[in-house]
């Protein structure tokens, strides 16, 4: 492949690498096969297999990525046309790259460019906010529009501002953290992704930093390295109180329900989630996913009971989040664009027989 063919993809990846992923593990990879076509992979070595819902959430992440890619490509004047592979992921597979599909860039009509550029600006400003929120309730009109966006994809967006329900669900989320840490596999996995100092977070450029979790790094490090202390009343109580302090001012929780039983569903679920997230961002509303409430089966059952959700057949409440207004949160780092591209030629390398203008 000639280097010019890589240029457009490098430019796209420079933006799209800011898509959100669970634990900020950044598992999506892109292999350009021509100037306008690339294969999209999920790197299984960057997946989160410890939770029972690790595989569905890996596909959700791929759906979030595909939506991000379409926003980034549109701002450069292209429609991203997808041909998707809906096979199940296997975290034990020998081939560590799971093919999600192929994306072809097709020129879009120039008339759509300025709207696409506005959407890119929104994409660039999206962040997870784990800060306290400011007690303001997000208005009905915004909720209605979020519902319409989800409905357009075949999903239901629902929310509650009932103080008792919000408080119970926030506690379920906090208890999930405690219960996940008792599970050795989940504990080992999260330790791999926690970044306790700003320097470590910047150097590795991935993972969950203490800073973005609004926790003092040394305290988080001590608490995480001594998880057995969490079951002692005083220390456990202090850690719980510290965590719940970050949840002050939360007035509303939202969730998404709909088909969630096979890879095609999970991908569309992820795409829907990202559309709602970007819409909230556009309206100045922050969001913090409580994904672990879904991936922990006990917490999921508690959530469904508390929110009186009726799940049946292939329909499930597959995402829960808090949302509202907060100060700008700290930035979660990303690895450099080149680390997302597969088969990139080294700088200055011109393959034999390739033209290079």
Ligand X SMILES: Cc1cc2nc3c(=O)[nH]c(=O)nc-3n(C[C@H](O)[C@H](O)[C@H](O)COP(=O)(O)O)c2cc1C
Mark the segment that binds ligand X (CB under 6 A) among 90-98, 115-123, 252-260, 284-292: 284-292
Neighbours of 203 (CB within 10 A): 10
Q: Output the six-digit token pair for 161.
A: 């501002």
d(CA 6, CA 9): 5
d(CA 296, CA 357): 54
Q: Does 127 bind ligand X (CB under 6 A)?
A: yes
Q: Does 64 bind ligand X (CB under 6 A)?
A: yes
Neighbours of 338 (CB within 10 A): 14
Q: Residue 346 Cβ, how far from ligand X at the closest point, in Å?
A: 29
Q: 289 — phi, psi (to 5°)?
A: -65, 140
SS3 280: helix
Neighbours of 14 (CB within 10 A): 15
Tell me the pairing of strands 208-209 and 315-324: unpaired
Q: Does 21 bind ligand X (CB under 6 A)?
A: yes
**In the β-sheet with 252-259, what is the strand arrangement from edge to edge?**
156-160, 252-259, 315-324, 286-289
Among residues 16, 20, 75, 133, which is the contact residue for ligand X, using CB under 6 A? 20
Q: Does 256 bind ligand X (CB under 6 A)?
A: no
For ligand X, the closer CB: 23 or 31: 23
For ligand X, the closer CB: 130 or 271: 130
Mark the segment that binds ligand X (CB under 6 A) among 5-13, 54-62, 98-106, 245-253: 54-62
Q: Does 332 bind ligand X (CB under 6 A)?
A: yes
Q: Does 267 bind ligand X (CB under 6 A)?
A: no
Neighbours of 318 (CB within 10 A): 28
Listed residue (127, 189, 131) closest to 334, CA to CA: 127
Nearest residue to ligand X by CB is 291
Q: Does 60 bind ligand X (CB under 6 A)?
A: yes
Q: Does 26 bind ligand X (CB under 6 A)?
A: no
Q: Is the dihedral of CA 138, 334, 13, 77 positive or negative?
A: positive
Site string for ligand X, 132-161 (x = CB under 6 A): ------------------------------
Among residues 258, 263, 291, 324, which is the contact residue for ligand X, using CB under 6 A? 291
Q: Residue 44 Cβ, how far from ligand X at the closest point, in Å?
A: 16
For ligand X, the closer CB: 61 or 69: 61
Euclidean distance between the first and the last CA atom of the chain, given in angstroms as a whole number: 14
* Region 196-235 residues binding ligand X, contact defined as CB under 6 A: 208
Tell me the pairing of strands 194-195 and 208-209: parallel
For ligand X, the closer CB: 13 or 105: 13
Interacting residues with ligand X (CB under 6 A): 20-24, 57, 60-61, 64, 127-128, 130, 208, 288-292, 332
């Amino acid at each position: 492949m000639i280097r010019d063919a890589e240029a457009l993809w490098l430019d796209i990846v420079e933006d799209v690498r800011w898509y959100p992923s669970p634990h900020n593990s950044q598992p999506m990879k892109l292999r350009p096969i021509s100037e306008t076509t690339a294969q999209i992979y999920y790197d299984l070595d960057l997946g989160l297999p410890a939770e029972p819902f690790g595989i569905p959430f890996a596909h959700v992440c791929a759906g979030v990525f595909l939506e991000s890619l379409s926003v980034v490509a549109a701002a450069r004047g292209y429609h991203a046309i997808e041909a998707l592979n809906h096979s199940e992921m296997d975290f034990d597979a020998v081939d560590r790259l799971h093919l999600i599909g192929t994306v072809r860039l097709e020129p879009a009509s120039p008339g759509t460019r300025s709207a696409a550029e506005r959407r890119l600006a929104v994409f660039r400003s999206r962040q997870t906010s784990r800060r306290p929120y400011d007690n303001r309730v997000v208005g009905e009109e915004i909720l209605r529009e979020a519902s319409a966006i989800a409905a357009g994809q075949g999903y239901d967006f629902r929310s509650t501002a009932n103080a008792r329900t919000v408080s119970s669900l926030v506690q379920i989320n906090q208890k999930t953290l405690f219960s996940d840490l008792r599970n050795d596999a989940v504990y080992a996995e999260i330790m791999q992704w926690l970044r306790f100092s700003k320097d470590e977070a910047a150097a590795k450029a991935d993972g969950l930093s203490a800073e973005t979790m609004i926790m003092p790094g040394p305290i988080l490090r001590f608490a995480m390295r001594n998880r057995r202390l969490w079951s002692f009343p005083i220390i456990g109580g202090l850690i719980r109180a510290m965590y719940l302090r970050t949840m002050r001012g939360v007035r509303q929780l939202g969730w998404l329900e709909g088909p969630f039983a096979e890879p095609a569903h999970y991908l569309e679920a992820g795409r829907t989630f990202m559309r709602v997230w970007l819409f909230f961002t556009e309206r100045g509303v922050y969001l913090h996913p409580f994904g672990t409430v879904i991936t922990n089966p006990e917490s999921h059952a508690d959530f469904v009971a508390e929110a009186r959700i009726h799940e049946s057949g292939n329909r499930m409440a597959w995402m829960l989040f808090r949302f509202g207004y907060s100060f700008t949160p700290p930035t979660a780092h990303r690895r450099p664009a080149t680390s997302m591209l597969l088969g990139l030629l080294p700088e200055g390398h011109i393959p034999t027989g390739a033209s290079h203008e």
